[in-house]
Amino acid sequence: ACSLLRSPKDFPKLKNDTFLRVARGEETEHTPVWCMRQAGRYLPEFRETRASQDFFATCRSPKLCCELTLQPLRRFPLDAAIIFSDILVVPQALGMEVVMVPGKGPTFTEPLKEVEDLLKLRQKVDVTAELGYVFQAITLTRHSLEGKVPLIGFSGAPWTLMSYMIEGGGSSTMAKAKSWLYRHPEASHRLLRLLADVIIDYLVGQVAAGAQALQLFESHAGHLGPELFQDFALPYIRDIAQAVKSKLKEEALPLVPMIIFAKDAHYALRDLAHAGYEVVGLDWTIRPQEAREQIGKDVTLQGNLDPCALYAPKEKIGELVKKMLESFGTQRYIANLGHGLYPDMNPEHVGAFVEAVHAHSRHINKH
């Protein structure tokens, strides 16, 4: 299915728009569900497809990204697909080298150490030249989905990308990156602004290529307290939503729903509710009722089953899903995990999760 480069025109008609309708605040018969990292190592077919390829080489192959994106949809009746890619393609577009080290994860060969290092970054990025392979993957996948479900595009948010670029990889404290916020606030804002500008063009380009929704991942929000978040994360999160929307209008592109997922940022839910996104994603550390109280009725919520719940027996997964649906309510709600699937999870348990969301939400809606 994933061959032939196609143009972003004449896309097949969408058959299941439940996810998009809920994102826009419309009522539906069942609660839509998808999973973060649904295209991932927990699927044997994913491991097989990825086996011979370097990780970022896979990201640069539209054909492989398309195949990996479609794999979970062949198994499960998910209500959305999310393009297979990585948030670190943006730092690569700025000229940084990132390699995937087995057992360690993504690693920057030369992380940013001093403020002067910012000069090494590309100050003007032509996203089509640098990230066109993601756009091609989106267009190809959108055709190959044959209108089955909507396709989500995504990007990392500025603070999360900045933290990787300075830490050089994952970190339990983010102390190097946070020290920049305290020691070099102006340089930090320069870097965050540069990232935001690239992300805006990148997200608009994804919609032009065929993405029907967008998710912004502020995965490292939990390392910031309320004040640092207010100064160094939130303004850029707001700005990205606003600028993407005005550019989509200017370019006569569809105004797609946008999701903000700021992991562990429960201190900022009220602000995120007013940041310009149709959907706020939640991690598993937040009580559904509290989230609903803070966020209000005009924003759709997404989340937030503890991914580790999928290690439970299938019947237990069903019970947990039922409880989650009762807590969130079945409308203005997209079911998901509170973070991504883990590599050692049983695909059958993922299927049990997806089916439980559909069955229980239909039942609750009928009664």
Distance CA 180, CA 113 (A): 9
Q: Exactly one of 37, 60, 142, 332 is catalytic; name it.
A: 37
Is 37 marked active-site?
yes
Q: Can you say how many angstroms the Cα of residue 283 is from the centroid of all Cα atoms in its chain? A: 13
Is 42 marked active-site?
no
Q: Looking at residue 202, what is its pLDDT? A: 99
Distance CA 281, CA 211 (A): 18
Q: Exactly one of 6, 41, 75, 238 is catalytic; name it.
A: 41
* Domains of the chain, first to last: 17-366 (3.20.20.210)
Q: In degrees, to the nearest 5, what angle opens at C-alpha 296 toward C-alphas 293 and 298? A: 160
Q: Looking at residue 328, what is its pLDDT? A: 98
Distance CA 47, CA 317 (A): 25
Q: Looking at residue 39, what is its pLDDT? A: 98
Identify the three-state secondary structure at position 280.
strand
Q: Exactly one of 17, 50, 201, 277 is catalytic; name it.
A: 50
pTM above the 0.85 mark? yes
Q: Exactly one of 17, 42, 164, 333 is catalytic; name it.
A: 164
pLDDT in tens, the chain (367 residues): 677 667 888 999 999 999 999 999 999 999 999 999 999 999 999 999 999 889 999 999 999 999 999 999 999 999 999 999 999 999 999 999 999 998 899 999 999 999 999 999 999 999 999 999 999 999 999 999 999 999 999 999 999 999 999 999 999 999 999 999 999 999 999 999 999 999 999 999 999 999 999 999 999 999 999 999 999 999 999 999 999 999 999 999 999 999 999 999 999 999 999 999 999 999 999 999 999 999 999 999 999 999 999 999 999 999 999 999 999 999 999 999 999 999 999 999 999 999 999 999 999 999 9
Q: CA quadruple 343, 349, 351, 353: dihedral positive or negative?
A: negative
Is 126 marked active-site?
no
Q: Which two tokens mark 138? A: 């989106």
Q: Looking at residue 7, what is its pLDDT? A: 82
Q: Exactly one of 21, 75, 86, 193 is catalytic; name it.
A: 86
Is 60 marked active-site?
no
Is 24 marked active-site?
no
